[in-house]
Amino acid sequence: MADLKTGGSDTASLPGNGGELRQTAAAAEKRLTTNHGVPVSDNQNSLKGGERGPTLLEDFVLREKIQHFDHERIPERIVHARGSAAHGFFELTQSLEEFTSARILTEVGAKTEVFARFSTVAGGAGSVDTPRDVRGFAVKFYTKEGNWDLVGNDIPVFFIQDAIKFPDLIHAVKMEADRGYPQAASAHDTFWDFIGLMPESTHMVMWAMSDRGIPRSLRMIEGFGVNTFRLLNDRNEAVFVKFHWRPKLGLQSTCWDEAVKIAGADPDYHRRDLYEAIASGDFPEWEFGVQIVTAEEADALPFDILDATKLIPEEMVPIRFVGRLVLNRNPDNFFAETEQVAFLPTNMPPGIDVSEDPLLQGRLFSYQDTQLSRLGTVNFHQLPINQAKGCPFQNFQRDGKMQTQVPTGRANYEPNSLANFGEAGGPREDPAGGFRSYGLNLDGSKVRLRAESFADHYSQARMFYRSQTPIEQAHIATAIVFELSKVTIPPVRLRVLANLRNVDEDLAKRVAGGLNMDLPPSSDAAVPPIDMEPSPALRIVGKYPPSLEGRAVAILVTDGVDGTAIDDVAKMVEAAGGTVKIIAPKIGGVMLEGGNKLPADGQLAGSPSVLFDAIALVVSESGTAELLKDSAAVDFVQDAFVHLKAIGFVPAAQPLLDKAGVTPDEWIVALKKGSKEFAKAAATRNWEREDQVRTLA
């Protein structure tokens, strides 16, 4: 090995920008390099054609880092490993022909087959459904012009601005490298260490710590394309676009304690909920919307539209709803479809194009590379779930592992002139109808820099927090307290608190109080945050009208009860759009007052109230006496009360309510024949009860 010492000094000469950088041999041993020993000058930014230009293919540092990350685990997905999916259709209701030539967005009334997959991010395939986490929301459209994969999340922003940081983010949130835990949890040292050092993550953290991180159902989450895309029309005119999915059932969440208990009672809670809803004909549905912005309008925004840590408030640019997604068929085989489906942001029909968003630019490479690793072949597009169905797919790419097609003829190259001699010449390019990229003018030098317009990391985080209702603000603060309480390195907690002071002083004080720590000085913000107008559209509470549609009500029954009382509650709930489950002490059911036997849908000990949106206690006096001896029955009632749910009851159930510590409010409803009060209460939670049942930050 060559001696690094030169001229009697222990320094080495390293090439730098505009001169030489002198570095000690000791420091050189600690420097970051590629896998082949090339020193890395910037591990924060990918190489772009100008500060706001597209990422360059020549960036071998980015490609090596992402490629290594993509191949770390097989065959399970590195992220989004635990997924649930369904078939369905997309129907366009309003044409966007003014903005795009894509037929999927111009042919009103046409129905396009789709396959949608929902997933958690941090956990492995064997983890549970209900941890605090981001949810993936990916839709594959089998369009007439090729597959379109809209690969997004249930949160409209992301943790990082540049794809080169994605491996670091996921390494930080995944199981810690030396101990292999925690699984599917962000409440640990390495995640918050990374977050505290990456102020750009602050906005996303607000979303993840909000109630959106613990959804009630996959049928009740919003979806977002996250990145900014372009639409191109036939005149080659381009506009920026953000894609949105809005659930017909409304946006709904659980309580944190409830989500934890659901994980123990039914690890497959979301998967089961989606499957059973579709199997019963209660098809989930979403509205499809777009926010369209011209380049001039984008330049006038107080943030950079290419920054994936930012959103466009609806009050600033309203969402135009132009279609609907309906999921109406469960997969026939989980592995063949849900596991083998391969989503690629590069799958876009003509008329849709990418932007220079550096997070998106990295995704364009990473997803394809990941599928090669997971599915083991360049021919993964031939798997039935991945095949283009709305149109033929044909080219001159041949052979490879797991080749299932049998191409005929001699031509496996292009151009060729075989058609002139009576042989098949194969497909040809289509200059008029083929995929087009927007003719972006590039200027500037090749740089590893973050655009100055990306430097504001706190204004939108502040807007999000201040847009929430007081209830939701308390939940965010309490969630951060819980997470940081799992952090064992005090300076990491202090660093996060210092960043939170740039978001909202009250939030920082609440979190510090919950940790019993003194507030540190505010961290230095690259750009001082500004006060943006609150956006009520970012709330959950009060955003959607109360409804029992898509919700389940449990009726706890015992021997000796009047069957007509059960029927009355069931009819009331079903008339309001809800479903009913009969819960009994034993799975065999109960003997009704008249001598008939009523089957049960679930056993009390195995069907806790956390699995339902409201409960009704239709019990006899003798049955109540037995339930008072059963902790599962007491927990059934107590948890429903603590989780702010409606409780309907017959007079005989009063001793059980008393033992469970239930105090009267408008959501504790005496069941009366023909009364609709219980169904009305069951459609929402009583957030005002929360102060009595738990301590919030």
Answer yes or no: do 125 and 255 share one domain: yes
Which residues are identified as catalytic? 80, 153
Residue range 574-624, pLDDT digits in tens: 999 999 999 999 999 999 998 999 999 999 999 999 999 999 999 999 999
Answer yes or no: do 601 and 488 share one domain: no
Per-residue confidence band for 31, with pLDDT thresholds at 50, 70 and 90:
confident
Residue ranges making up the domain that contains 142 = 67-382
Q: Would 38 be classed as within a structural domain? A: no
Tokens of 202: 């602050």
Answer yes or no: do 290 and 151 share one domain: yes
Nearest to 306 by CA among 367, 254, 252, 354: 354
pLDDT of amino acid 285: 98
- Statement: residue 572 has pLDDT above 50: yes
Query: Which whole number is the average pLDDT over 415-426?
Result: 91
pLDDT of amino acid 18: 43
- Statement: residue 4 has pLDDT above 90: no
- CATH number of the domain encompassing residue 506: 1.20.1370.20
Would you report the helix, strand and coil content of the chain in percent, each value rounded to 5? 30, 20, 50
Answer yes or no: do 286 and 148 share one domain: yes
Is 4 in a helix, a strand, or coil? Answer: coil
Query: Which whole number is the average pLDDT over 449-458?
Result: 96
pLDDT of amino acid 204: 98
166 phi, psi to nearest 5 deg: -65, -45
Instruction: Name residues whose C-beta falls within 8 Å of residue 305's C-beta, 6 or more positions apart in sequence.
Output: 228, 240, 293, 298, 312, 355
Answer yes or no: do 524 and 574 share one domain: no
Is 58 in a helix, a strand, or coil? Answer: coil
Answer yes or no: do 94 and 236 share one domain: yes
**Cβ 89 vs Cβ 111: under 8 Å:** yes
Answer yes or no: do 360 and 484 share one domain: no
Which of 316, 347, 382 is the last residue before a domain boundary?
382
Answer yes or no: do 153 and 262 share one domain: yes
The amino acid at residue 45 is: N
pLDDT of amino acid 110: 96
Is 118 in a helix, a strand, or coil? Answer: strand
Answer yes or no: do 84 and 176 share one domain: yes
Element spanning 120, H or E: strand 111-120
Poorest-pLDDT segment among 28-32, 121-125, 229-233, 291-295: 28-32
What b/e string do you get for 231-252 counting C-beta neighbours within 10 Å, with b at 16 or more? bbbeeeebbbbbbbbbbbbbbb
Q: Would 249 be classed as within a structural domain? A: yes
Cα(8)–Cα(15) distance, rounded to whole angstroms?
20
Answer yes or no: do 498 and 570 share one domain: no
Query: Which whole number is the average pLDDT over 101-118?
Result: 97
Q: Would 685 be classed as within a structural domain? A: yes
Q: Would 434 be classed as within a structural domain? A: no
Listed in order, strand segments (DSSP E) in 170-309 are: 223-224, 229-232, 238-247, 285-293
Q: Would 9 be classed as within a structural domain? A: no
Cα(182)–Cα(423) distance, rounded to whole angstroms?
61
Q: Would 452 be classed as within a structural domain? A: no
Tokens of 91: 């129907």
Per-residue confidence band for 28, with pLDDT thresholds at 50, 70 and 90:
low
pLDDT of amino acid 213: 98
Q: Percent of the chain at pLDDT above 90?
A: 82
- Statement: residue 1 has pLDDT above 70: no
Answer yes or no: do 235 and 102 share one domain: yes
Is 308 in a helix, a strand, or coil? Answer: coil
Q: Would 41 be classed as within a structural domain? A: no
Listed in order, strand segments (DSSP E) in 294-397 are: 320-329, 352-354
- CATH number of the domain encompassing residue 277: 2.40.180.10
- Statement: residue 6 has pLDDT above 70: no
Instruction: Name residues whose C-beta falls within 8 Å of residue 517's C-beta, 6 or more positions apart in sequence.
Output: 490, 493, 494, 497
Which of 333, 366, 382 is the last residue before a domain boundary?
382
Q: Percent of the chain at pLDDT above 70?
A: 96
Answer yes or no: do 378 and 482 share one domain: no
Number of domains in the chain: 3
Per-residue confidence band for 391, with pLDDT thresholds at 50, 70 and 90:
confident
HSE value, Cβ hemisphere, 13 Å, CA-based, for 653: 26
- CATH number of the domain encompassing residue 681: 3.40.50.880
546 vs 91, more confident: 91
Is 613 in a helix, a strand, or coil? Answer: coil
Query: Which whole number is the average pLDDT over 651-666?
Result: 97
Which of 353, 382, 411 is the last residue before a domain boundary?
382
Angle between helices 256-265 and 631-642 (to 10 degrees): 140
Q: Would 232 be classed as within a structural domain? A: yes
Cα(390)–Cα(395) distance, rounded to whole angstroms?
16
Average pLDDT across the chain, whole number: 93
Tokens of 340: 């083998």
